[in-house]
Structure 1
Amino acid sequence: MNTVDAAGLRIGDDHPPRIMGVLNVSKESPYSPSVFDDPEEAATYVDDDLIGEGADIVDVGLESANKRFEVLSAEEELERLDTAVETIERVEGDAVFSIETRYADVADAALEAGFDMVNDICGFADPEMPAVCEAHDAAVVKMASPPDLDRPGAVEDVEDIYEALGRNGLTEKTIVDPAFGGWSEAKTLADDRETFRRLREFRGYGQPILVSINRKNFLRDVAGRATEEALPVSLAATAMAVERGAHVIRTHDVAETRDAALIGAEFTRERHRERAVEELDVTTPKEAERHIDRLEGDRAAAEASVARAYEVRPPSDRRQTLVDVAADTGVVCTGGEDLFVAGTVADLEVFADRLTQASKALAGVAGEIRSSLR
């Protein structure tokens, strides 16, 4: 996993989860507590409610990315940039300042004026964005999006999201964002939940991951909560996201999110990580496949990379048959009346096929194992 240095703030597996607080200088933005058009008031908010509560990064939005509003041009965003720049100049606390934009020209102007990094909500749809960020040696968040400056985040399926993040490449200092939320009419709550379940797959790019899940609908819907009641579900998901590999959490609820992220980090499984050997966080063949692709390997190896374990209750008169088939197929099998059975996905598929051939009485056991491997 690559570590990204964002103006001295190191982001990656070997560092604490980072909290990105949000400031908007766009009157259209729907979350009113974070919206300011007066630089002095905005700076006070940043110092007291963001940095003072534990934000490592402050993300400044020049316009609302809500699909209900007209997209501002680069020129219109630049007209608002002065307010953002004056705000960060007035801030007394220490943080990394990120400019949220889809335009390379705006990113360039913001970085020249004192911003430290870029949050590109259109995922390099402006083809000049990577070069601008590299020229400034700036970290950049790349949110999964189609190659269209008017449709940020408008990708739904996990496979399409993953592919979108790879489009137009990555810089050495790219942080990937799988674009949670209702960015398009086609995206469903089920789409977001599936992306969250498969969050570890995005580690396959070998770059840090940012998630923006604060009070999002796909979480609120699970618990039946309105936005103002949704902090607990956001915090639960934050801890889970960090445990699954997220490195930056973007939020309006800084102090609480910081605590939840630290809990997630504390209970994340320890993995060996040294200069020559890094143990990968892989729990499914698909997660293995993502890393294999990055390392230019053979995808066929994915199913031999992940193990599964079961407690199996075979018919008593077929127990020895199951034990013998396990021995023949390289599957671990031990125990008494009930058996502990474990092996790689590839070996277990062979094991299930051989069980079916060996005894009709074991076909049900074989079918359940085979079904679980999909």
Structure 2
Amino acid sequence: MNASPSPSVAPAGSAGPGVLRTLLERPVPAVMGVLNVTPDSFSDGGQFIAPDQALARARAMIADGVDIIDIGAESTRPYKGAQPVTARDELARLMPVLAEVVALGVPVSIDSMKAEVVAFALDQGVAIANDVWGLQRDAGMAPLVAERGVPVIVMHNRDSVDPAIDIVQDMIAFFQRSLDIAARAGIARDLIVLDPGIGFGKTAEQSMTALARLDALGAFGLPILVGASRKRFIASVSPSEPQERLAGSIAAHLIAVQRGAKIIRTHDVAETLQALRVAAAIESKQ
């Protein structure tokens, strides 16, 4: 399927660098809200797949104070059961709603591992690429990001879980490969954000270790995004279903901020933003 740019929406390329800079200059970490237009995402699959529901959700997150809306049309749930879809499927889910979400005026990121889908999204005015395979799955992703000059979120991932490995060393090696790919493609280093990929290719213990040792990624000198929202590791500490993990999500995110995270990806925008603001206010009194 060939995706044509929308004639009414300017491409995001020239605005991308400024978008990331503005987000990182916020007095508290930026909050990225999750918008899944999928039938099978682990926490809210099917709830927002209809265009009117997706738009309503986007408007609600904006009212709650979201800084970025992260829209995805393929479940990349970090557990078994997600059904891979084609680029055609993703585009079919995005086409009825993406331009309207962008038109709401808040920066939008596209959560996709397929360069074809990301290209379409950028043509609709999306500002940021969010690749859950860190530029290592689709060979066309890094050249596309470089050509468009947009920020990219590079997430750590693994094809399988290995409880025996040092997950932090694995992340460091993965990110070095991703950064090498980015450099060869010509992606400006100041447009790259690292994401430890909480829950992806990790045991519950490894996810918690990744959060506890998040500051080890500071050696790269790049901003860090953390999305621990409603992840299964929380249930390993306190048995719960995804919708019952708000408190655990906030605890994980506050620790992530203490360890250096600058962007927090969450399903629960208002509650997360309140927690971040209160924590920042208390810290300012030291």
* TM-score normalised by structure 1 residue count: 0.62
Q: 2: distance between equivalents of 1:57 and 1:210?
A: 12
Q: 1:118 to 1:34 in 2, by over 3 A?
A: farther
Within a 5 Å distance, the mapping from 1:64-79 to structure 2 comes to 64-66=75-77, 67-79=80-92
Determine if contact 1:127/1:168 at 8 Å carries over to the other structure: no
Determine if contact 2:39/2:45 at 8 Å carries over to the other structure: no
Using the TM superposition, name which of 234-243 and 201-210 deviates more. 234-243
1:162 aligns to what? 172
1:251 aligns to what? 266
Structure 2 spans left out of the alignment, 5+ residues: 1-15
Secondary structure of the 1:167 match is helix
Letter in 2 for 1:242: V
Letter in 2 for 1:247: K
Determine if contact 1:142/1:176 at 8 Å carries over to the other structure: yes
* TM-score normalised by structure 2 residue count: 0.80
Secondary structure of the 2:84 match is coil
Q: 1:95 to 1:69 in 2, by over 3 A?
A: same
Deviation at residue 13 of structure 1 after TM alignment: 6.7
Larger radius of gyration: 1
Q: 1:235 to 1:36 in 2, by over 3 A?
A: same
Q: 1:177 to 1:55 in 2, by over 3 A?
A: same
Q: 1:164 to 1:257 in 2, by over 3 A?
A: same
Determine if contact 2:212/2:255 at 8 Å carries over to the other structure: no
1:210 equivalent among 205, 220, 225: 225
Q: 1:38 to 1:152 in 2, by over 3 A?
A: farther
Deviation at residue 123 of structure 1 after TM alignment: 0.8
Within a 5 Å distance, the mapping from 1:169-248 to structure 2 comes to 169=179, 170=182, 171=187, 172=189, 173-181=191-199, 183-184=200-201, 187-248=202-263
2:110 aligns to what? 99
Within a 5 Å distance, the mapping from 1:268-347 to structure 2 comes to none
Deviation at residue 114 of structure 1 after TM alignment: 1.5
Report which structure shows greater RCO (CA 8 Å, sep ≥6). Answer: 2
Q: 1:139 to 1:191 in 2, by over 3 A?
A: same
Letter in 2 for 1:165: F
Deviation at residue 11 of structure 1 after TM alignment: 3.6
Secondary structure of the 1:83 match is coil
Q: 2: distance between equivalents of 1:27 and 1:268?
A: 40
1:338 aligns to what? none
1:44 aligns to what? 56
Deviations 1:70-117 (A, max 9, x none): 32222332332313424415x53x311111100112111110122111
Q: 1: distance between equivalents of 2:220 and 2:59?
A: 34
Determine if contact 2:32/2:263 at 8 Å carries over to the other structure: yes
Deviation at residue 219 of structure 1 after TM alignment: 2.6
Deviation at residue 266 of structure 1 after TM alignment: 4.1
Letter in 2 for 1:162: I
Deviation at residue 52 of structure 1 after TM alignment: 0.8
2:276 aligns to what? 261
Q: 2: distance between equivalents of 1:8 and 1:208?
A: 10
Q: 1: distance between equivalents of 2:208 and 2:84?
A: 27
Deviations 1:188-207 (A, max 9, x none): 21111111110111121111
How many percent identity over aligned positions? 31
Determine if contact 2:156/2:195 at 8 Å carries over to the other structure: yes
Q: CA RMSD in A?
A: 2.7
| Number of aligned residues | 257
Determine if contact 2:135/2:154 at 8 Å carries over to the other structure: yes
